[in-house]
Amino acid sequence: KAGVTQTPRYLIKTRGQQVTLSCSPISGHRSVSWYQQTPGQGLQFLFEYFSETQRNKGNFPGRFSGRQFSNSRSEMNVSTLELGDSALYLCASSFSGTTNYGYTFGSGTRLTVV
Amino acid sequence: GENVEQHPSTLSVQEGDSAVIKCTYSDSASNYFPWYKQELGKGPQLIIDIRSNVGEKKDQRIAVTLNKTAKHFSLHITETQPEDSAVYFCAASIGLTGGGNKLTFGTGTQLKVEL
């Protein structure tokens, strides 16, 4: 059974640019959550998508957005990149996004903003 | 919102010894407590989880205990091996008004198992 696939693995972008990250969840999983991991702030919740709808959102500025497609694949977009956006971006998939089912994380996309 | 504290931040043990990592949470509504292991260059991997209606769960060398009254939970690894060396994260999950859940993570424990 394939795991959670995130692409690309590494990205280097310049301040002010925008970036799109992709996440393919485990087959059959309908919930995709995104997390930002940094040495200073740890793992922080960005948002969660379920059945193509953003169901929950963390405390991040509007520059961070996402979407989910009918096949449950999700994309995350960051516009007007800042140096502080450099982080490991992780997505986690779950069958329903409830505590009845665990979350499986991908290997992440390492974003470096220069 | 939920806050999860994790201790210690680093832990060094000798191979074969036990390791214990402790976490406390603030929101009594949290009802799911997973533990993740993260190796260098990889995403967090779920190693064990416990739900609020259970006090203890064991899976081979790994066990987790939950004290709902005190709002703390712990990870116990027995007979540690070098391959157990990694960063371990605890998390607490709370249901959200929009449906679904959000994981709030502890700050991580760097476990080093020395030969």
Tens-place pLDDT, residues B28-37: 999 999 999 9
What pLDDT sits at residue B97? 74
Q: Residue A84 in 3-state DSSP?
A: helix
Question: Of all residues in chain A, what percent carry a pLDDT higher than 70?
Answer: 96
Q: Residue B83 in 3-state DSSP?
A: helix
At residue B108, does pLDDT exceed 70? yes
| Among the partner residues B31, B46, B106, nearest to A102 by beta-carbon distance | B46
Q: Is A105 on the interface with B (CB under 8 A)?
A: yes
Q: Is A45 on the interface with B (CB under 8 A)?
A: yes
Residue B96 to residue A35, Cβ atoms within 8 A: no
What pLDDT sits at residue A1? 65
Mean pLDDT of all residues in A28-33 = 93
What pLDDT sits at residue A80? 97
What pLDDT sits at residue B52? 86
At residue B1, does pLDDT exceed 90? no
Alpha-carbon distance of A71 to B48, in angstroms, equals: 29
Q: Which residues contact A81 (CB under 8 A, 6 or more apart)?
A: A13, A14, A15, A16, A17, A18, A19, A113
- Which of B24, B30, B28 is closest to B6 using CA atoms? B24
Mean pLDDT of all residues in B68-88 = 97
Which of A101-105, A108-112, B2-6 is least confident? A101-105
Alpha-carbon distance of A84 to A67, in angstroms, equals: 22
Å between A89 CA and nearest CA of chain B: 9
Residue B102 to residue A33, Cβ atoms within 8 A: yes
What pLDDT sits at residue B54? 84
Residue A45 to residue B103, Cβ atoms within 8 A: yes
Q: Residue B57 in 3-state DSSP?
A: strand
What pLDDT sits at residue A79? 96
- Which ranges constitute the DSSP H helices of B1-115? none
**What rounded mean pLDDT belongs to chain B?**
94
At residue A101, does pLDDT exceed 80? no
Residue A99 to residue B43, Cβ atoms within 8 A: no
Among chain A residues, the shortest Cα distance to B95 is held by: A98
Compare A1 and B4 and report the one with higher pLDDT: B4
